[in-house]
Amino acid sequence: MSLRFVRIKNNQMGHSAEIKAIYGNKLRIRVCGILENHGNYLFVNHKKLNTENIFWNFPGGGVDDGESISETLVREFKEEVNLNVSIEQFCFFNEVIVDTLHAIELYFKVKSKNFDAKTGQDPELEIITDHKWMTIEQFSELPTHQKPVVFSNLKSINDLINRFQN
């Protein structure tokens, strides 16, 4: 499995000063869950990550001290979309450096018995504004700055996973 490394210079993302103050100048470990239901994938919108306040990604967030990866992913899904999930499999990891922000992101396929998502919140910053089920085609049509760079030219989840295994 290879590493996907993304570096964006000059803060093209337009992260808010609040984001930089909390998460800047340190390494952050993030976990994200890929939840699929009949060809649709669950995404959450984040504000304060660009000037438009539109940034879609899979639900997830930072690992707290003393918290396991699986505990983090379960907690983040409960907070952001009010769903109980369990990890099915590890998919890939991604490293992102944007100005003073540095994150290692771990992506997992997750499963749930319930798909009735409700927009929740991020207790640290209250940056979650919405959730949406989208096909990969719909997600791919979003402008590049409204989704993580790692998802550029995405045709399928398998396409994405295969990028990291070859």
| 22: CATH | 3.90.79.10
Q: What are the pLDDT digits (tens) for 63-122?
A: 999 999 999 999 999 999 999 999 999 988 888 887 788 889 999 999 999 999 999 987
Question: At 163, is the pLDDT very low, low, confident or very high (cuts 50, 70, 90)?
Answer: low
Q: Which domain holds residue 36?
A: 4-165
Give the pLDDT score at 2: 45
How far is 62 from 84, CA to CA, in rounded Å? 18
In the structure encoding, which two tokens stand for residue 144, read together? 């590049």
Q: How many separate domains does the chain show?
A: 1
State the pTM of this model: 0.84
Q: Is the pLDDT of residue 5 over 60?
A: no
pLDDT in tens, 38-64: 999 999 998 877 777 788 999 999 999
Longest dimension (CA), the chain: 43
